[in-house]
Amino acid sequence: MYTYDTVSAAVDGLRQRGYKMDFNLSENCLICHDDKFNAGDFEITEFYRFEGDTDPADEAAVYAIESNKGLKGVLVTGYGPSAEGMGPEMAKKLLMHKH
Protein backbone atom coordinates (compact mmCIF):
# COMPACT_ATOMS: atom_id res chain seq x y z
CA MET A 1 0.00 0.00 0.00
CA TYR A 2 1.12 3.54 -0.70
CA THR A 3 1.35 6.44 1.75
CA TYR A 4 -0.12 9.87 1.03
CA ASP A 5 -0.16 13.06 3.09
CA THR A 6 -3.29 14.62 1.56
CA VAL A 7 -6.54 13.61 -0.11
CA SER A 8 -5.46 15.24 -3.37
CA ALA A 9 -2.13 13.36 -3.34
CA ALA A 10 -3.99 10.07 -2.82
CA VAL A 11 -6.41 10.79 -5.67
CA ASP A 12 -3.54 11.85 -7.96
CA GLY A 13 -1.55 8.73 -7.08
CA LEU A 14 -4.51 6.45 -7.75
CA ARG A 15 -5.24 8.19 -11.06
CA GLN A 16 -1.63 7.61 -12.13
CA ARG A 17 -2.11 3.92 -11.37
CA GLY A 18 -5.23 3.55 -13.52
CA TYR A 19 -8.10 4.53 -11.20
CA LYS A 20 -9.52 7.03 -13.70
CA MET A 21 -13.28 7.04 -12.97
CA ASP A 22 -15.12 9.05 -10.32
CA PHE A 23 -17.53 7.08 -8.15
CA ASN A 24 -20.20 8.87 -6.13
CA LEU A 25 -21.97 7.53 -3.08
CA SER A 26 -25.72 7.12 -3.12
CA GLU A 27 -27.81 5.71 -0.28
CA ASN A 28 -27.80 2.13 -1.55
CA CYS A 29 -25.16 2.08 -4.29
CA LEU A 30 -22.19 3.71 -5.95
CA ILE A 31 -22.81 5.67 -9.13
CA CYS A 32 -20.37 6.18 -11.99
CA HIS A 33 -21.83 8.04 -14.98
CA ASP A 34 -25.16 6.26 -15.55
CA ASP A 35 -24.06 2.95 -14.00
CA LYS A 36 -25.12 1.92 -10.50
CA PHE A 37 -23.13 -0.56 -8.41
CA ASN A 38 -24.60 -2.31 -5.40
CA ALA A 39 -22.34 -3.46 -2.55
CA GLY A 40 -21.71 -6.81 -4.24
CA ASP A 41 -20.80 -5.21 -7.58
CA PHE A 42 -17.43 -3.74 -6.59
CA GLU A 43 -14.36 -4.32 -4.47
CA ILE A 44 -12.33 -1.86 -2.46
CA THR A 45 -8.71 -2.47 -3.42
CA GLU A 46 -7.11 0.34 -1.41
CA PHE A 47 -8.23 2.69 1.35
CA TYR A 48 -6.72 5.88 2.75
CA ARG A 49 -8.00 7.81 5.76
CA PHE A 50 -7.25 11.46 6.46
CA GLU A 51 -7.97 13.24 9.73
CA GLY A 52 -8.43 16.99 9.98
CA ASP A 53 -5.80 18.69 12.13
CA THR A 54 -8.22 20.99 13.92
CA ASP A 55 -11.68 20.41 12.47
CA PRO A 56 -13.36 16.98 12.63
CA ALA A 57 -15.43 18.02 9.59
CA ASP A 58 -12.21 17.80 7.56
CA GLU A 59 -12.01 14.02 8.00
CA ALA A 60 -12.11 12.13 4.69
CA ALA A 61 -11.67 8.68 3.22
CA VAL A 62 -10.35 7.81 -0.24
CA TYR A 63 -11.29 4.43 -1.70
CA ALA A 64 -9.78 2.76 -4.76
CA ILE A 65 -12.70 0.91 -6.38
CA GLU A 66 -12.81 -1.87 -8.97
CA SER A 67 -16.24 -2.73 -10.33
CA ASN A 68 -17.49 -6.03 -11.68
CA LYS A 69 -17.70 -4.27 -15.09
CA GLY A 70 -13.97 -3.59 -15.09
CA LEU A 71 -14.17 0.09 -14.16
CA LYS A 72 -11.43 1.36 -11.87
CA GLY A 73 -11.97 4.61 -10.03
CA VAL A 74 -11.93 6.65 -6.87
CA LEU A 75 -14.54 7.40 -4.21
CA VAL A 76 -13.85 10.28 -1.82
CA THR A 77 -16.21 10.60 1.12
CA GLY A 78 -16.29 12.04 4.60
CA TYR A 79 -16.48 10.02 7.78
CA GLY A 80 -17.27 10.79 11.36
CA PRO A 81 -19.35 13.98 11.68
CA SER A 82 -19.04 14.68 7.95
CA ALA A 83 -20.10 11.21 6.76
CA GLU A 84 -22.78 11.14 4.10
CA GLY A 85 -26.02 9.25 4.63
CA MET A 86 -25.93 5.73 3.27
CA GLY A 87 -27.93 2.56 3.51
CA PRO A 88 -26.87 -0.31 5.78
CA GLU A 89 -25.36 -2.48 3.00
CA MET A 90 -23.15 0.33 1.73
CA ALA A 91 -22.21 1.35 5.27
CA LYS A 92 -21.10 -2.20 6.06
CA LYS A 93 -19.02 -2.47 2.87
CA LEU A 94 -17.32 0.91 3.30
CA LEU A 95 -16.97 0.99 7.08
CA MET A 96 -15.17 -2.35 7.30
CA HIS A 97 -12.17 -0.62 5.69
CA LYS A 98 -12.08 2.32 8.10
CA HIS A 99 -10.25 0.57 10.93
The pLDDT, as a whole number, for residue 98 is 54
Distance CA 3, CA 38 (A): 28
Supply angle C-alpha 19, 24, 95, rounded to 5: 90
Q: Is residue 2 part of a domain?
A: no
More confident residue, 57 or 34: 34
Which sign does the torsion angle of CA 41, 74, 61, 36 carry? Answer: negative
pLDDT at 73: 97
Contacts of 9 (CB under 8 A, 6+ apart): none
Per residue in 72-97, pLDDT (tens digit) is 999 998 865 445 566 777 777 776 66
pLDDT in tens, 1-40: 789 999 999 999 999 999 999 999 887 899 998 899 999 9
| Residue 79 lies in domain | 7-95
Is 1 a member of any domain?
Answer: no
- Does 75 fall in a domain? yes
The count of domains in the chain is: 1
